[in-house]
Amino acid sequence: MASKRKTTKYTGKPAKVLQSEPAIVIEWPRSLAHRHTYGKLSPFFKGLTEGKLLATKCVNRECGEHRLWLPPRADCPDCNQPMVWEELPQPIIGTVHTYARVEYAGAGIELTTPYFQIDVELPGVCTIFKGYLQHGTPEIGMKVKACFRTEDPSNTILDMYWIPVPSDADVRS
Amino acid sequence: MITLKEGNWRIPKWNRKVFAVAGGLTNYRKFCPEMKIEEQAMVAFRQMLENNDLRFSPVEIKGLVNFLACGSFADHFQDQLLCEAKVTDYLGLDPMYDIGIKTGGATGGSTVLTAAMAIASGYADVALAIGWERMSEVDTRTGNYYIATAACKDFETRLSRIYSAYYAPMAVRFAWAYNLSEETRAKVAVKNHLYAYYSPYSQQPGKYTIQDVLNSPMSTYPLRFLECCAMTDGAACMLLCDEKTAYKLTDKPCELFIAGGSHTLRVADRRDMEIPLLPHETPEMYRGLRKKEGQRWPGFESFAAARFAAYFAYRMAGITNPLKELDLVELHDAFTISDIQTYGDIGLRPYGQEPDYIESGDAYFGGKCPANLSGGLIGTMHAVGATGIFSGVECLWQLQGKYDKFHGDRRIWDSFGKKKPEDWKSLQVPNAKQALWISHAGVGSHVTAGILRKAF
Ligand SMILES: [Zn+2]
């Protein structure tokens, strides 16, 4: 019955007008939290929090690719068969393939700028693994060692970082 | 190692010829509050219908359209799902079917490819390729983060949240592998900002010196802000037809070929592979290419997606020597380094000699095959969904001999509230017969190579 129907009320928060000339521009707030799954890569992210670096490997004998994958993937792109996990032996020493110094990062950055992002070659791995250098200055060919943020982990890829491996000359001096 | 079989190598083929006849652009700017995105699409659409010397009236042409390909890259920028339905309605093209296209930075190229496939298959006789982006809905740093979600979410995005940080490692590696100087990179920026100076559509025109570029603030080392494209609000469109309709509509149609290639989003995962050779290349050319330790192809130096796009497009169009047969190119210079990397991928120079395309003068107006006379992405615009259409339209106008008409007309400058420079000069390439444009996504995840050929 129409007479008993309650009046519809506005319950929102008025949009802030940012400018009114040459056209009205309002603020449109958005604040969202997504639920994101690590899916079959969950062992990798759990591994980081335990100080382990886990890669995947195709064990299909008919496949042509038997090197490790890092970032890992659960299934082999060459033969489409499920892969198996393999932990990299410690210490994990890689070689800087290339690098960049991030000075101006986008919103939400969780590292203090400027910092060095590095791409690391690892023996027996068919891919090149992106990470960041905690201290020091990278150059192509430099040796770096993997470290893990096992205390108070971020539960993201940032739980792993690299530090320079002192060269023989540095050790002697 | 990726190994390809016979079917993968098949050269794409149209079932019937495809032609481009007209194009439209907008006044590209970082923030365009006076117009909504569909209103900007209308501006481009109107320029296409009214100012391209078509023989039919706008309403008659609309009566011929029976398919739309609509490109827009980022739903999280515009915050409007199914925006294509709004645009199609706004342009008055309902109830023609529109398909939304989304391949990152290559969205524009993919949009033209989709419209071309509609013509080639016979689905449509007249198809509209239209693209847009409205990036100013968020502040710049949020925009940087949004774009960085086009890197791998789990393994890359948190490591920078800005796209220059995914290209900077390529710049470092390329310089190490192939002796690229910072000055050569800066020359690309100087050139494209300068060409933008002659364009009324441009967002970042400027007469800079190499030193200005090298002294500009750093985005991600080694890439400076003047070496990076901006975020843009704007739209672009192109009208495609079958042969019969094309000659009915215009006396200046251009035949179109376009093909694409894709590669994994993470550069990290690009395993070494055989280099697919372009028609003018031989295996001997690349015997010594990977002589340094750890070198791989495409690795961080090159884009397999661009190489495959060129591999297919050149064969589709019967091009046997790109540098000789192309009169100009419009490349996807989102960053100076990606522009330079592409010279090798599309065969303007052999791999390893990319910097010479700039240093030789070939890339400049008056050179053998000038690049980005439009001002490109660095100088003129990167309204992502529109970009690959904008580059194609600039090629089309060059081939139609209409550079001056669309860049030199004072009324266009005035309508954008801009002052035509006193020292404006024409960048019309004389007798241009064939042009190529590249539309490129991610760190080379999707690339289309489009070729336009004068058909009059
Ligand atoms: Zn396999």
Q: At how many degrees (to 10) do helices B336-345 and B182-197 cross? A: 100
Contact B165, A104 (CB under 8 A): no
User: Mutate which of B269, B337, B443 to test chain A, going by most A C-beta atoms within 10 A?
Assistant: B269
CA distance A9 to chain B (A): 26
pLDDT digits (tens, 9 = 90+) for A3-37: 678 899 999 999 999 999 999 999 998 888 999 99
Provide the residue range defining the domain that includes B86: 19-138+233-249
The number of residues making up chain A comes to: 173
* Cα B125 to Cα B118: distance, rounded to the nearest angstrom: 8
- Residue B100 sits in a domain of what CATH number? 3.40.47.10
Residue A21 lies in a domain: no
Would you give per-residue pLDDT tens digits along chain A (173 residues)?
A: 556 788 999 999 999 999 999 999 999 988 889 999 999 999 999 999 999 999 999 999 999 999 999 999 999 999 999 999 999 999 999 999 999 999 999 999 999 999 999 999 999 999 999 999 999 999 999 999 999 999 999 999 999 999 999 876 555 54
pLDDT tens per residue, chain B (456 residues)? 788 999 999 999 999 999 999 999 999 999 999 999 999 999 999 999 999 999 999 999 999 999 999 999 988 888 899 999 999 999 999 999 999 999 999 999 999 999 999 999 999 999 999 999 999 999 999 999 999 999 999 999 999 999 999 999 999 999 999 999 999 999 999 999 999 999 999 999 999 999 999 999 999 999 999 999 989 999 999 999 999 999 999 999 999 999 999 999 999 999 999 999 999 999 999 998 888 888 899 999 999 999 999 999 999 999 999 999 999 999 999 999 999 999 999 999 999 999 999 999 999 999 999 999 999 999 999 999 999 999 999 999 999 999 999 999 999 999 999 999 999 999 999 999 999 999 999 999 999 999 999 999
Of B441, B446, B423, the C-alpha closest to B197 is B423
Q: What is the pLDDT of residue B288?
A: 87
A130 touches chain B (CB under 8 A): yes
**A97 contacts in B (CB within 8 Å)?**
173, 294, 300
**Inside any domain, residue B83:** yes
Predicted structure pTM score: 0.96
Domain membership of residue B42 (yes or no) is yes
Handedness of CA B238, B243, B245, B250 (dihedral sign): positive
Residue B360 in tokens: 């030789």
Number of structural domains (chain A) is: 1
Residues of chain B neighbouring A41 (CB-CB closer than 8 A): 154
Cβ distance B166 to B156 under 8 Å?
Answer: yes
Count of residues in chain B = 456
Q: What is the pLDDT of residue A168?
A: 63
Residues 6+ apart with CB under 8 A from B282: none
Cβ contact, residue pair B218, A141, below 8 Å: no
Is B62 inside any structural domain? yes
Exposure string over B323-347, b if 16+ CB within 10 A, otherwise e: bebbbbbbbbbbbbbbbbbbbbbbb
* Shortest Cα distance, chain B CAs vs residue A16, angstroms: 14
Of A104, A117, A130, the CB nearest to B219: A104
A38/A3 Cα distance (integer angstroms): 53
Residues of chain A contacting B153 with CB distance shorter than 8 Å: 36
Largest Cα–Cα separation, chain B: 62
Question: Are the beta carbons of B144 and A105 separated by less than 8 Å?
Answer: yes
- Give the pLDDT of residue B347: 98
Give B437 Cα–ligand 1 centroid separation in angstroms: 36
Starting from the edge strand earliest in sequence, which strands make up the sheet with A84-87, in order? A68-69, A54-57, A84-87
What is the pLDDT, as a whole number, of residue A30?
86
- Within 8 A of A105 by CB-CB distance, chain B residues are 144, 160-162, 165
Residue A173: the pLDDT is 46
Q: Does residue B422 sit within a domain?
A: no
Please say whether the beta carbons of B407 and B229 come within 8 A.
Answer: no
Which pLDDT does position B73 carry in this prediction? Answer: 93
Q: Which residues of A touch B221 (CB under 8 A)?
A: 100-103, 114
**Any domain includes B126:** yes
Residue B190 forms part of a structural domain: no
List the domain range (segments joined by +) for residue A71.
40-164
- A110 in a structural domain: yes
The single residue listed with the structure tokens 């390909």 is: B69
The structural domain count of chain B equals 1
Q: Do A130 and B168 lie within an 8 Å CB cutoff? A: no
Q: Does A28 touch chain B (CB under 8 A)?
A: yes
